[in-house]
C-alpha cells in the first residue's frame, strides 16, 4: 500500500512497481523505530547514493505502507518533528485490520502496489 504522494514521487522518479518491490526486498538503510524504516531508492540506470529516500512503515511478512519519499538533492533528511509524526502514523496504519486497509484503498486514501506477475489493479 502507498500514499498517493508516494506514488506520484515514484512515477516522477521513473520507478516501476517492480522497482518498488525490489526496494521492499532490500535491507533498509535505517530502522527509525516504531515500525518505520528508511530506504534508498535509485532512478533506473543510476546509483542510489544520491537518489531518493523513502520512509516505509513495515510489519514483516504482513504489511508495508509506503509513506513518504524525497530526493536527497532536495532534502538531506527529515526533521525530528516530522519523524515523530511519521512514527505515530506508522503505528496507526500498521495496527489497522485487513478490512480497514481494504476500505482505505476503496476510498482512495491508499493505493495498492501489486507485485509484478500477480495481476490485479495497478497503483
pTM: 0.84
d(CA 81, CA 74): 18
In this predicted structure, the answer to whether residue 49 has a pLDDT above a threshold of 90 is no
> Residue written as cell 513518504?
68
pLDDT tens digits for 72-93?
Answer: 888 878 899 999 999 999 999 9
What is the pLDDT at residue 37? 96
In contact, 78 and 90? CB cutoff 8 Å: no
Amino acid at each position: 500500500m502507498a500514499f498517493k504522494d508516494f506514488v506520484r514521487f515514484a512515477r516522477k522518479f521513473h520507478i516501476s512497481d517492480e522497482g518498488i518491490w525490489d526496494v521492499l526486498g532490500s535491507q533498509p538503510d535505517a530502522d527509525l523505530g516504531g515500525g518505520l524504516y528508511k530506504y534508498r531508492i535509485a532512478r533506473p540506470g543510476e546509483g542510489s547514493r544520491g537518489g531518493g529516500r523513502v520512509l516505509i512503515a513495515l510489519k514483516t511478512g504482513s504489511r508495508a505502507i509506503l509513506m513518504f519519499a524525497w530526493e536527497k538533492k532536495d532534502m538531506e533528511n527529515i526533521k525530528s518533528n516530522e519523524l515523530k509524526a511519521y512514527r505515530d502514523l506508522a503505528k496507526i496504519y500498521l495496527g489497522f485490520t485487513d478490512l480497514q486497509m481494504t476500505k482505505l484503498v476503496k476510498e482512495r486514501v491508499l493505493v495498492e502496489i501489486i507485485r509484478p506477475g500477480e495481476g490485479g489493479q495497478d497503483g
